[in-house]
Amino acid sequence: ELKVEQNPLFLSMQEGKNYTIYCNYSTTSDRLYWYRQDPGKSLESLFVLLSNGAVKQEGRLMASLDTKARLSTLHITAAVHDLSATYFCAQDKEGGSEKLVFGKGTKLTVNP
């Protein structure tokens, strides 16, 4: 059974600071996803990581995948208020139905 655990669940940080959100998963699937959700809105795809060592960057966000450690990280560089949202990581099982199993999410608040 796929399990995905994120930490921290809540993160309050100041603008300009750096921080990392961690996502541990339970199986050896090589596919890991990061989504952003604003309050009352749907999920916006940020990154799809498909292989060990994959690193993707978009603006102030960088995601990486270590399949041996079953760990993905989402690193925030020089946070700005607009990054305030809830971030979810999710995993699926290649060759299965491709249903996504989500973590509980990390609610990020960036304070001025």
Partner 1 sequence: GAGVSQTPSNKVTEKGKYVELRCDPISGHTALYWYRQSLGQGPEFLIYFQGTGAADDSGLPNDRFFAVRPEGSVSTLKIQRTERGDSAVYLCASSIPGGVEQFFGPGTRLTVL
Q: Using CB under 8 A as the criterion, which residues of the chain lie in contact with partner 1 when the complex forms?
A: 4, 31, 33, 35, 41-45, 48, 50, 88, 90, 92, 96-105
111 CB burial (10 A radius; 0-12, 13-18, 19+): exposed
Distance of closest approach, residue 38 Cβ to partner 1, in angstroms: 11
Cβ proximity to partner 1: between 95 and 112 the closer is 95
Cβ proximity to partner 1: between 2 and 80 the closer is 2
Please, are residues 56 and 42 in contact by the beta-carbon 8 Å criterion? no
Distance of closest approach, residue 86 Cβ to partner 1, in angstroms: 9
Alpha-carbon span 111 to 84, nearest angstrom? 9
Distance of closest approach, residue 54 Cβ to partner 1, in angstroms: 12
Alpha-carbon span 33 to 90, nearest angstrom? 5
